[in-house]
Structure 1
Amino acid sequence: MTKVSKPRTACQDQVELYDTLRDPGLRPILAVELGKAKFNQLKALNEFHMGMESLQSVPEDTATRSAKMVKARDGDSVPAFSALDDDKSVETADSGDDEVSSMPQNKVAEVWERIANGERWIGAVPVSFYREMEDVYLVGRPFLMGFNRGQPRVILNQILPRAGGNMGRIYANEWARPWVIAKILDASGFNMDQTSLVTMKAQEPGSADEDSVLGYLPGNARKTVDELMAYRANHDLRPDRTAKPSLSHEPPYVQTEVLGYDTEFSLYDRIGFGDSIKDIIAVFQGEQGPRQDDTPDKGLSLEYALKHKF
Structure 2
Amino acid sequence: MARATLTIDLDAIAANWRALDALSAASVETGAVVKADAYGLGIARVAPALAAAGARSFFVALAEEGAELRRILGAGPSIHIFSGHMPGDAPLLAAHDLIPLLNSVRQVKRHRQALPGRAYGLQLNSGMNRLGIEPGAVPPGLAPVLTISHLACADTPHHPENARQRAAFAPEGRASLAATGGTLLGAEFHCDLTRPGIGLYGGYPFTAARPVVALDLPVIQTRTIAAGETVGYGATWRATRPSRIATVSAGYADGLIRAMGNRACLFHGTTACPLVGRVSMDVITVDITDTADRPESLSILGPQQRIDTLAEAAGTIGYEILTSLGTRYNRVYKGG
Structure with the greater relative contact order (CA < 8 A, sep ≥ 6): 1 or 2? 1
Q: Which has the larger radius of gyration?
A: 2
Give the TM-score taking structure 2 as reference length. 0.24
Q: Which has the higher helix share?
A: 1
Q: Which has the higher strand share?
A: 2
